[in-house]
Amino acid sequence: MAYETILTETRDAVTLITLNRPKALNALNSQVLEELIDAFATFEADDSQRCAVLTGSGDKAFAAGADIKEMSEKPAADFYLQDFFARWTSEIVKKVRKPWIAAVNGFALGGGCELAMMADFILASENAKFGQPEIKLGVAPGMGGSQRLTRAIGKSKSMEMCLTGRMMGAEEAERANLVARVVAHDELLDEAMKTAATIAGMPPMAAIANKEMVNAAFETGLDQGIIFERRLFQILTASEDKKEGMEAFIEKREGNWKGR
Ligand code: DAK
């Protein structure tokens, strides 16, 4: 698929995907959605790729939301009948088993904040601003924002954000556990690529298992989550990479991963 609204490149085992509508602050229209789904599917299918980074082009925005101009024309029946936004969750969140990072370089509002929260974790530049301002448009989050934001930062803060539509700066977002780390604006992409390269250098099966078990903490009760973790741990003990990892440690050398 030829992309018009995003850019993709691979650097060794890391795929970089850049939202590329800077004049519209990378607003997410349906073309972006389709292209992103394709780019993530390509990343997932490529055995040479181990981790991805998603960021926004330009200096101002990761993504300033779903494209209000496009959506304002859409009848409510279409939103409902097309189960609008469902494909983001099914194709990007559920089907992408490899790790990916959102590198938030500016506004991450509405759908932009929701997209960032679909990532395995968020690295933010000092200029990042997060918010769910949909209430000001007479609507509400529709891509998981009320759920993921609440799980990340708790009810009180999430409720305040959704009800007032106010933006949260990077420092507050780090304090509130919405983001893993804040870095200087100019260093964000380098830092995100470096972090992704570290993850890409890990045993791939173990990376997927680690991702699955952390995600299980959000989807199951504690007892079930702990059993799930233990089972994945037990499966990994049978992997070739576990044998290699332990031998490499004992022999004081880097592991040579087979991904099995
Ligand atoms: N969609 C489309 N275009 C956008 C946009 C967006 N979300 N955000 C910004 N732009 C466009 C602006 O219209 C402007 O385009 P031109 O006028 O130059 O053609 C350009 O990007 C630059 O924006 P500004 O001139 O506004 O830049 P400022 O630095 O002054 O302000 C801002 C930056 C991020 C504070 C401001 O652009 C802003 O407030 N943007 C909207 C943020 C927002 O509300 N995001 C949440 C989107 S809502 C539904 C309808 C909508 C939704 C769901 C359902 N139905 C009809 C049922 C919404 C879901 C969302 O995600």
Q: Could you tell me if 79 and 169 lie in one domain?
A: yes
Indicate the top mutation candidate among 32, 68, 118 to test ligand 1's pocket, ranked by most ligand atoms within 8 A of CB: 68
pTM for this prediction: 0.95
Q: Which residue has the higher pLDDT, 146 or 93?
A: 146
Q: Is the pLDDT of residue 192 over 90?
A: yes
Say which amino acid occupies 177. Answer: N
**Per-chain mean pLDDT for the chain:** 96
Q: What is the DSSP string of 106-152?
A: SEEETHHHHHHHHSSEEEEETT-EEE-GGGGGT----SSHHHHHHHH
Q: Distance of CA 69 to CAs 29, 110, 140, 191, 243, Å?
A: 9, 14, 16, 34, 55
Protein residue whose Cα sits closest to atom 53 of ligand 1: 139
Question: pLDDT for 216-247, tens place per residue?
Answer: 999 899 999 999 999 999 999 999 999 999 99
Choose one of 177, 200, 223: the last residue of a domain.
200
Cα 60 to Cα 150: distance, rounded to the nearest angstrom: 25
Q: Is the pLDDT of residue 87 over 90?
A: no
Which pLDDT belongs to residue 82?
87
Choose one of 161, 179, 200: the last residue of a domain.
200
Which pLDDT belongs to residue 240?
97
110 lines ligand 1 (CB under 6 A): yes
Sheet holding 181-183, edge to edge: 6-11, 14-19, 51-56, 100-104, 121-125, 181-183
Protein residue whose Cα sits closest to atom 22 of ligand 1: 24
Q: How confident is the model at residue 89 (pLDDT cuts 50, 70, 90)?
A: confident
Residues labelled catalytic: 66, 111, 114, 134
Residue 241 structural domain: 204-250
Question: pLDDT for 8-22, tens place per residue?
Answer: 999 999 999 999 999
CATH code: domain of residue 112: 3.90.226.10
Which pLDDT belongs to residue 86?
87
Give the position, in ligand 1's atom list, of the atom nearest the Cα of 60. Answer: 29
Q: How many distinct structural domains can be found in the chain? A: 2
